Chain A
């Protein structure tokens, strides 16, 4: 009896510790980055061009570049991804073609990001002659983001009760009317959450933009989608490894800006999901 209670106590403590271990790194990383980087944050840091070999000045072109790339990625991945998800969830039967599509999506998700970068270089930058550009980078990031968006959107669509579709059909709804008026509105919160999580990952990636868009040092804002641009993750890589004598607080300040950008997208996704889950009737 006594032994059993001790075993129970020990198991409980160990399991609680593992749970604690999961949240520890998040707070450790956040705390460390904030502590070392907060000193660099100023209005000038966020809104001015880098100067003096990036050792002074600000992050403006990198921030704008990452915003533009995130936007571009969304413009490519969202319509294609949501469209594919609607096809898979609402139209496709279980046949050789859809099985092939699903396998393709799973494999797409498993490809290392640096391989996407190389692929983007070969296809978009060189073969299609887009050059090292926002267009090529967005396309590369867009393809990388597709699997996330497709799988979360398909899941969200499938979660909408089948009965709603049957009722809509029985009232003379075509398949598309049913999707547009009943299924999509109900699945939208889940789809939006998936989109944000996908874009968040794209915003923080370095390898895919390495060969396709990112500029080492370009102290001006891009004027067309065929321009190169700086971007936060690559900029962080550059100032951390390629520039001797870089002040540490600028490195960590840059990391902090990237982290806040990505985490705020995460928080937004969580808020959207929570808001709509409260309103859901099924």
Chain B
């Protein structure tokens, strides 16, 4: 099983601490695989979101006190000094728990990242908008009103818009931080189906909003508890035959 999986990201002995001590990670070593849905799950406060935000260095903005270890993207240490963070964020996109459309039109939301990168060609932008919205399964719903304000969309549509906005940059990795936590079951189903379609092209790393979702979407799963990686492995192993007692207790609902 693991032999044919290609590690896209390798995390080596990563430790992250915030000044207020809320969320932290201790000595994380793991791999995240290309063309797989990699699931990071566990109770709240386990450091999953922190880990996601380490992968595109959004933690740089936050109140991080210490950050040691290495994170290798295609073998290159993204935490090395002088590493091009802007380029990293174009390669590693993120979708947050709460959909936050920028205060612009649907079209402008999608093209925002490209315009920051200096793309001005109208035809190219049009193409990207259509492609990204189709990938995020939103084109049929908004294709005829691209120039309306994005905040007028429903919550589920906004979240797919945020996904499309990340996809517009043609990233290699997509991080999703509880992307369906605010959505109804139908919208959640749409997003999950979209992820299944996207994994052929992308490396997907998701923090699910429930164990059920974790078990539904995972190809590869990692269980986090209080800042530590308890265990990780293929979905079937983690959810049917975990090797650690704590994983077993969590997935059978004894805590969390």
Say yes or no: A166-B61 contact (C-beta < 8 A), given A171-B112, A171-B169. Answer: yes
Q: How many A-B residue pairs have CB under 8 A?
A: 62
Contact A173 B116, beta carbon cutoff 8 Å:
yes
Whether B103 sits at the interface, judged by CB under 8 Å, is yes
Task: Chain A residues near B102: list those with CB within 8 A.
Answer: 164, 167-168, 182
Note all chain B residues with C-beta closer than 8 A to A167.
96, 100, 102, 162
Contact B100 A171 (CB under 8 A): no
The residues of A that contact B58 with a CB separation of less than 8 Å are: 166, 169-170
Contact between B98 and A174, CB atoms less than 8 A apart: no
Compute how far the CA of A170 lies from the CA of B49 in the bound complex, rounded to whole angstroms: 14
Report if A170-B89 is in contact (Cβ < 8 Å); known contacts: A163-B98, A164-B100, A282-B103.
yes
A90 to chain B, nearest CB (A): 11
Rounded to whole angstroms, the CA-CA distance of A170 and B90 in the bound complex is 8
B94 at the A/B interface (Cβ < 8 Å)?
Answer: yes
Which residue of chain B is the closest to A182 with respect to CB atoms? Answer: B102
Q: Which residues of B contact A182 (CB under 8 A)?
A: 102-103
In the assembled complex, the Cα of A181 lies from the Cα of B58 at a distance in Å of: 19
The answer, yes or no, to whether B86 is at the interface (CB within 8 Å) is: yes
Asked if B61 and A172 sit within 8 Å, CB to CB, the answer is no
> Smallest CB–CB gap between A279 and chain B, Å?
9
Contacts of A98 in B (CB 8 A): none
Shortest Cβ gap from B53 to chain A (Å)? 9
Establish whether residues B98 and A172, one from each chain, have CB atoms under 8 Å apart when the complex forms. Answer: no
- Bound together, the chains give a CA A164 to CA B166 distance in angstroms of 14
A15, CB-defined interface residue at 8 Å? no
Output the least CB separation between B155 and chain A (Å).
14
Q: Which residues of A contact B69 (CB under 8 A)?
A: none
Question: B182 → chain A, closest Cβ, in Å?
Answer: 13
Q: Is A177 at the interface (CB under 8 A from chain B)?
A: yes
Does residue A21 face the partner (Cβ distance < 8 Å to B)? no
Contacts of B103 in A (CB 8 A): 164, 182, 185-186, 280-282
- Chain A residues with CB under 8 Å of B96's CB are 163, 166-167
Does any Cβ of A come within 8 Å of B56's Cβ? yes
With the chains together, A177 CA to B89 CA distance in Å? 14
Task: Determine if B151 and A177 form an interchain contact, defined as CB atoms under 8 angstroms apart.
Answer: no
Report if B165 contacts A (CB, 8 A). yes
CB nearest neighbor in B for A170: B94
Q: Which residues of B contact A280 (CB under 8 A)?
A: 103
* Cα-based distance from A282 to B98 in the complex (angstroms): 14
B89 to chain A, nearest CB (A): 5
Q: Does B5 contact A (CB under 8 A)?
A: no
C-beta contact mask, B82-100 vs A, less than 8 Å → 1, else 0? 0000110110011010101
Residue in A170, A185, A186, A282 whose CB lies within 8 Å of B56: A170
The CA-CA distance from A164 to B93 in the complex, in Å, is: 15
Q: What's the nearest-Cβ distance from chain A to residue B176, in Å? A: 12
Cβ < 8 Å to B, chain A residues 147-203: 161, 163-174, 177, 181-182, 185-186
| B234 interface residue (CB < 8 Å to A) | no
- 8 Å CB interface, B98-146 against A: 98, 100, 102-103, 112-113, 116-117
With a cutoff of 8 Å between Cβ atoms, the chain B residues found around residue A169 in the complex are 58, 61, 89
Contact in complex: B61, A171 (CB < 8 Å)? no
In the assembled complex, 19 residue pairs joining A and B whose CB atoms fall closer than 8 Å, in A order, are: A163-B96, A164-B100, A164-B103, A165-B61, A167-B102, A168-B102, A168-B116, A170-B56, A170-B58, A170-B166, A171-B89, A171-B90, A171-B166, A172-B86, A172-B116, A172-B117, A172-B169, A173-B113, A182-B103
Chain B interface residues toward A at CB < 8 A? 56, 58, 61, 86-87, 89-90, 93-94, 96, 98, 100, 102-103, 112-113, 116-117, 149, 151, 162, 165-166, 169
Chain A residues with CB under 8 Å of chain B are 161, 163-174, 177, 181-182, 185-186, 280-282
